[in-house]
Amino acid sequence: MAAPIATPELVLAVAERYAGVRLVSNTGIHGFGLAVRAGLAQATGEAIAVDDGGCLRQPADLVRYYRKLQEGYDCVFGSRFMQGSAVIDYPVHKLTINRMANWFIRTLFRLRYNDITNAFKCYRRASH
């Protein structure tokens, strides 16, 4: 079995085929949020998608998100906990903490969303 390809090498290989793809390295303090900020600071184009890279989403989901932006929405968020979804192999303790944190944030900010901590989001780069 071949060794898995590291993310930078994979991104560089994709960038060779698609001019709009480029590698952004977070050279500062590491962490998911800081990596997202580094990427957002260099993003171009009309839409920005954020994901945790866990290979849990299908490319078709990203296309659906983008089409929602084209309908006039400013952002589209994924949810692991909506009706019809399935959460697979998610440790019970993490699920419990996640649900408690989401409830707290929803209550504090009076939000209707059921999965605030989900990393899969797509934003319009500039409001219309």
How large is the average pLDDT for residues 98-122?
A: 90
Indicate if 30 and 68 belong to the same structural domain.
no
Indicate if 53 and 36 belong to the same structural domain.
no
* HSE (side-chain half, CA atoms, 13 Å) at 96: 3
Q: Which domain holds residue 14?
A: 1-44
Instruction: Give the integer Cα–Cα distance in Å for 30 and 103.
Output: 27
- Answer whether residue 68 shows pLDDT above 90: yes
At 11-41, the pLDDT tens digits run: 899 999 998 888 888 888 888 889 888 888 8
Indicate if 16 and 65 belong to the same structural domain.
no
Q: pTM for the whole thing?
A: 0.70
- Report the pLDDT value the prediction gives residue 56, as an integer from 0 to 100: 67
Indicate if 68 and 13 belong to the same structural domain.
no
- Report the pLDDT value the prediction gives residue 72, as an integer from 0 to 100: 93
Indicate if 74 and 106 belong to the same structural domain.
yes
- Answer whether residue 4 shows pLDDT above 70: no
- Tokens matching residue 34: 């800081």
Indicate if 85 and 95 belong to the same structural domain.
yes
At 78-92, the pLDDT tens digits run: 888 888 888 888 899
Tell me which of 11, 28, 44 is where a domain ends.
44
Instruction: Give the integer Cα–Cα distance in Å for 84 and 88.
Output: 13
How large is the average pLDDT for residues 64-87?
A: 89
Indicate if 50 and 17 belong to the same structural domain.
no
Domain count within the chain: 2
Indicate if 123 and 63 belong to the same structural domain.
yes
Indicate if 31 and 56 belong to the same structural domain.
no
Q: Which SS3 state, helix, strand or coil, does residue 46 take?
A: coil
